[in-house]
Homo-oligomer: A and B are copies of this chain.
Amino acid sequence: MPRLRVHNFTLSLDGYGAGPDQSVEEPLGAGGEQLHDWLFRTRGGKEMLGEPGGSTGVDNDYFRAGETDIGATIMGRNMFGPVRGSWNGSQWRGWWGDNPPFHHPVFVLTHHPQPPIEMEGGTVFHFVDGGIEAALEQAFSAAGGLDVRLGGGASTVRQYLRAGLVDELHLAVVPVLLGGGERLFDQLGGAIEGYGIVRFTGSDSVLHAQLARKPQQ
């Protein structure tokens, strides 16, 4: 059965998925950009940027896993862009240029629907205002039997965790201290009791932890 998977969700050592004071200039908040440095040191990450080289090994394996057997992506509106409220004719087409690295349908959660935006390379941004379950249903349908990847940000992942809809969650903890910002592990109620840690692999630069939903009793 197709699954909803989170990959490469990166936390600072003090538990933040984004730093304080998120803004257009710093969409991941103060200091938040450094969370993802590890991704751009991997071979897969460099390929995504059209650059040569990069590390192979466990970090790269995790990067690649996030690209494998995924037929659609869901993300929160703040991950799509900095525009808030009504789109008001905004020409915003995402952070990723004309040919975004998805190459499949992407469902953006929003309270303000607008027509889909078709990009180069197979990525189409759809704007869904029916809630997280409706978005998931549309994404599974669009994925054609493949899995769906859940992007961020933290609040979007928390919503799906609280609803018990995430099947797998790969976390990367990096040696960064942000001192504040947006937590992933917050306001989850009892949802976390439904998950177990099935892999825990450290390197000198990243701790990888793989969470999976426990089998239903």
Contact = CB atoms under 8 A, between A and B. Distances in A.
A186 to B, nearest CB: 9
Nearest to A171: B13
As for how many copies of this chain the complex holds, the number is: 2
Contacts of A188: 179
A177 B201 contact: no
A193 B177 CA distance: 8
Given A179-B192, A185-B14, A204 B201 contact: yes
A87 interface: no
Nearest to A198: B175
A200 interface: yes
A205 B200 contact: yes
A197 to B, nearest CB: 4
Contact of A207 (B14, B173, B191, B211): B173
A205 B201 CA distance: 8
Interface of A: 13-15, 171, 173, 175-177, 179, 183, 185, 188, 190-193, 195-197, 200-207, 209, 211
12 contacts: A13-B171, A13-B173, A15-B15, A15-B183, A15-B185, A175-B197, A177-B195, A177-B197, A200-B205, A202-B202, A202-B204, A202-B207
